[in-house]
Amino acid sequence: MGFAGSDFISINDFSKADLEHVFKVADRMLPLARKGSSICKNKVLATLFYEPSTRTRLSFQTAMLRLGGRRIGFSSGAESSSMKGETIADTVRTIEQYSDIIVIRHPSEGAARVAADYASIPVINAGDGSHQHPTQTVLDLYTILKEKGKIKGLNVGLYGDLKYGRTVHSLLGTLGLFGANVFCVSPQGLEMPVHFVKEFKEKHGGDLVETSSLDTVLPQLDVLYATRIQKERFPDEKEFLKVKGTYSLDSFALSRAKDDLVLLHPLPRVDEISYELDADPRSRFFKQVFYGVPTRMALIALLLGKVK
């Protein structure tokens, strides 16, 4: 597809060839991710964040600065006129008067799609409720490619809160698309929603194992993608307390894993990965953070039509 002028809302809107093209452009951005460039000179990126964020918001802003553009935005709904009752539709039709591309994060599923329907400039979904986080998926896949050299045929474990985690919801299907075998490992009650599993099997016919025991599958894994419990998405506190602290990784747990395992996490971490594992060469989650810059540079430049 042609990226120029389009939105980036759901990962399902993009083919394998589209995503491979984004990775190719990200490769071109890699040296510029520190050095900077003037590819998007005089362009303005707006970050509309109605939910907390450290990496996604700041990496989008960094990406735009490294592309030579500028940025505006707010980092919580409380800073915006949504507090006065303004709708997303009116907010984006206002922001597009100031900017060339919008990145939006919102607690409601489907909010980014609404924003895209009303905006005449490209809109990027930076997370809508527990639904999707497609740019995280781009950087997750890119990290796997860079760290393992391929995705096809790898055994990838998705570990933790697979029920409410939007990163794993976006990632699952694309792992199928790229030919990985997936192991969904979650405590009882936090399993991957049935419709995502069904879709994976129907579309990709790939192997998908579901289990609550990491120990049994860990020795086979090439990549382990850990996630935190999405406390803020639980309908009630009691349900959260039932699963709180029920899983974590430490050196002992990882002693059964392959030596060349790649351990990823979209971050923030709470207690899923012990700090002692930070020194383990298999931990790549801060490298993963870095890959957020070239991949988001690629997406911004593509959607603005500044690269082909």
Where on the chain is the footprint of ligand NCD (CB under 6 A)? 55-56, 127, 133, 136, 166-167, 227-228, 266-267
Cβ closer to ligand NCD: 228 or 306? 228
Residues whose CB falls within 8 Å of the CB of residue 133, separated by 6 or more in sequence, listed in order:
56, 125, 126, 127, 166, 167, 169, 170, 266
> Exactly one of 21, 28, 55, 93 is catalytic; which is it?
55
> Exactly one of 105, 166, 169, 296 is catalytic; which is it?
105
Compute the least distance from the CB of residue 227 to ligand NCD, in Å.
Answer: 6
The yes-or-no answer on residue 269 being catalytic is: no
> Exactly one of 43, 57, 131, 133 is catalytic; which is it?
133
Compute the least distance from the CB of residue 44 to ligand NCD, in Å.
Answer: 22
> Exactly one of 47, 56, 137, 295 is catalytic; which is it?
56
Question: Which ranges constitute the DSSP H helices of the chain?
Answer: 16-29, 32-35, 55-66, 88-95, 111-118, 134-148, 166-177, 194-204, 214-217, 237-243, 251-254, 285-303
Compute the least distance from the CB of residue 266 to ligand NCD, in Å.
Answer: 4
The yes-or-no answer on residue 244 being catalytic is: no
DSSP 71: E
Q: Residues 70, 64: contact at Cβ < 8 Å? A: yes
Cβ closer to ligand NCD: 4 or 10? 10
Give burial (CB, 10 Å; 0-12/13-18/19+) of 233.
middle
Cβ closer to ligand NCD: 66 or 228? 228
CA distance 166 to 135: 11
The yes-or-no answer on residue 133 being catalytic is: yes
Cβ closer to ligand NCD: 157 or 306? 157
Backbone angles phi, psi at 6, to 5 degrees: -90, 175
Compute the least distance from the CB of residue 40 to ligand NCD, in Å.
Answer: 22
**Residues forming the active site:** 55-56, 84, 105, 133
